[in-house]
């Protein structure tokens, strides 16, 4: 039987390699576009989270005539940390607004009358609250470990990728920081009861909440008096060091007396655990009037410091 005149079917090896190469090029062109779409979706999700948090803060204000405290502590308690006066119950701003984030069932189950780290609350405080999770963050595990500076475990709490603004200076550097009068005060500090009327620089010009999606772990639960906030990767973030327990829920912008002239907006490469930090050239922040906006790492440093204070009279013209 003669096969010389039969019709050839199929691909040659060279044709197959060409097709594979073309598919590889197309995938290479498509992947960056897909990544950009994913990043845009994550940013929109985070922006929506911040807006919902803003509504919750204002609803809390309507009910209590002030915004929630950065965190709550009975500084006169016998269980207070003698160095910082941090103490039970320790509940943070995130826990205080749960009822206004459609988490009323969780809030009602918590023993708010007990410390946030009390065994009665242990299972509930590990809850992941979707509104506090940024889908684009590199550390998205449901919980984080609360530890001493030596690395000893104190508790396991639900994670948050958002922190409230403590102002320019870091109030946790002063033992009695439940008192106002610290230069560059922001809306949130220990036992704060900030009212809208106290934000004399204007709600639209004052940062309330911002992203903190890397460097260190934050929580919606609160502050353990013996805890410390440390970098999650000392090799990647060599400039940062452990800071006070208050930085589990709050951040500041600078300048502070310990760092004269240093201001760090979101993503600033000094990489402090006590600053708002996101790995995408800046970060989303929520202003007191409820609008969320991306702030670039390249923002004028004096402008960022002005936006971080609520009553300094340093209202920026535009940014």
**Tens of pLDDT along 33-89?**
556 657 777 788 999 999 999 999 999 999 999 999 999 999 999 999 988 999 999
Q: Looking at 3-7, 32-36, 208-212, which range is the least confident one?
A: 3-7
**Tens of pLDDT along 145-159?**
999 999 999 999 999
Cα separation values, 234 from 9, 148, 162, 231, Å: 60, 16, 21, 6
Residue 22 — very low, low, confident or very high, per pLDDT cuts 50/70/90? Answer: confident
Q: Is the pLDDT of residue 10 over 70?
A: no
The H or E element containing residue 35 is helix 13-64
| Rounded Cα distance, 266 and 278, in Å | 6
Instruction: Residue 57: name the closest of 287, 299, 303 by CA.
Output: 287
Residue 250 is predicted with a pLDDT of 97
Residue 7 — very low, low, confident or very high, per pLDDT cuts 50/70/90? Answer: low
Chain-centroid distance of CA 153 in Å reads: 21
| Rounded Cα distance, 70 and 22, in Å | 56
The pTM of the full predicted model, rounded to 2 decimals, is: 0.87
Q: Write the DSSP assignment of 36-92 as a string of letters.
A: HHHHHHHHHHHHHHHHHHHHHHHHHHHHHSSPPPSEEE-TTSTTS-TTT---SEEEE
The H or E element containing residue 305 is helix 301-308
Contacts 24+ apart (CB under 8 A), 196-201: 196/61, 196/288, 198/310, 198/311, 199/288, 199/310, 199/311, 200/310, 200/311, 200/313, 201/306, 201/309, 201/310, 201/311, 201/312, 201/313, 201/314, 201/315
Q: Is the pLDDT of residue 319 over 70?
A: no
| Rounded Cα distance, 227 and 159, in Å | 15
**Tens of pLDDT along 230-261?**
999 888 887 788 999 999 999 999 998 888 88
Residue 271 is predicted with a pLDDT of 86
Q: Is residue 74 packed enough to be buried (19+ CB in 10 Å), middle (13-18) or exposed (0-12)? A: middle
Residue with the bigger pLDDT between 316 and 46: it is 46
Residue 141 — very low, low, confident or very high, per pLDDT cuts 50/70/90? Answer: very high
Residue 164 — very low, low, confident or very high, per pLDDT cuts 50/70/90? Answer: very high
Q: What is the dihedral of CA 115, 277, 145, 179, to 10 degrees?
A: -20
Cα separation values, 81 from 74, 104, 113, 155, 226, Å: 11, 31, 19, 17, 7
Cα separation values, 183 from 160, 168, 177, 271, 305, Å: 27, 7, 12, 23, 11
Instruction: Residue 256: name the closest of 169, 171, 167 by CA.
Output: 169
Residue 318 is predicted with a pLDDT of 67
| Rounded Cα distance, 203 and 245, in Å | 27
Residue 269 is predicted with a pLDDT of 85
| Three-state DSSP class for residue 12 | coil
Q: Is the pLDDT of residue 27 over 70?
A: yes
Q: Is residue 234 packed enough to be buried (19+ CB in 10 Å), middle (13-18) or exposed (0-12)? A: exposed
């Amino acid at each position: 039987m003669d096969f010389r005149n039969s019709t050839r079917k199929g691909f040659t090896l060279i044709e197959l390699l060409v097709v594979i190469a073309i598919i590889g090029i197309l995938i290479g062109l498509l992947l960056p576009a897909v990544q950009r779409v994913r990043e845009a979706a994550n940013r929109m999700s985070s922006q929506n989270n911040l807006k919902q948090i803003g509504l919750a803060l204002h609803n809390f204000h309507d009910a209590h005539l002030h915004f929630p405290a950065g965190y709550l502590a009975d500084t006169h308690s016998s269980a207070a940390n003698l160095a910082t006066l941090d103490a039970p119950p320790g509940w943070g701003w995130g826990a205080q607004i749960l009822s206004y984030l459609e988490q009323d069932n969780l809030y009602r189950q918590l023993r708010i009358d007990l410390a946030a780290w009390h065994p009665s609350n242990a299972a509930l405080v590990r809850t992941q609250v979707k509104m506090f999770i940024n889908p684009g963050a590199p550390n998205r595990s449901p919980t984080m470990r609360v530890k001493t500076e030596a690395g000893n475990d104190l508790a396991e709490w639900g994670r948050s990728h958002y922190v409230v603004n403590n102002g320019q200076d870091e109030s946790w550097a002063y033992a009695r920081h439940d008192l106002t009068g610290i230069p560059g005060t922001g809306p949130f500090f220990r036992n704060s009861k900030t009212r809208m009327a106290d934000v004399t620089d204007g709600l639209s010009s004052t940062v309330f909440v911002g992203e903190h999606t890397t460097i260190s772990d934050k929580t919606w639960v609160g502050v353990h008096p013996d805890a410390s906030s440390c970098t999650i990767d000392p090799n990647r973030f060599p400039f940062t060091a452990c800071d006070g327990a208050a930085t589990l829920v709050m951040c500041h912008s600078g300048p502070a007396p310990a760092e004269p002239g240093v201001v760090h907006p979101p993503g600033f490469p000094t990489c402090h655990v006590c600053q708002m930090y996101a790995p995408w050239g800046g970060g989303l922040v929520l202003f007191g009037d409820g609008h969320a906006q991306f702030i670039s790492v390249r923002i004028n440093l004096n402008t960022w410091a002005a936006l971080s204070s609520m009553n300094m009279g340093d209202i920026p013209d535009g940014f």
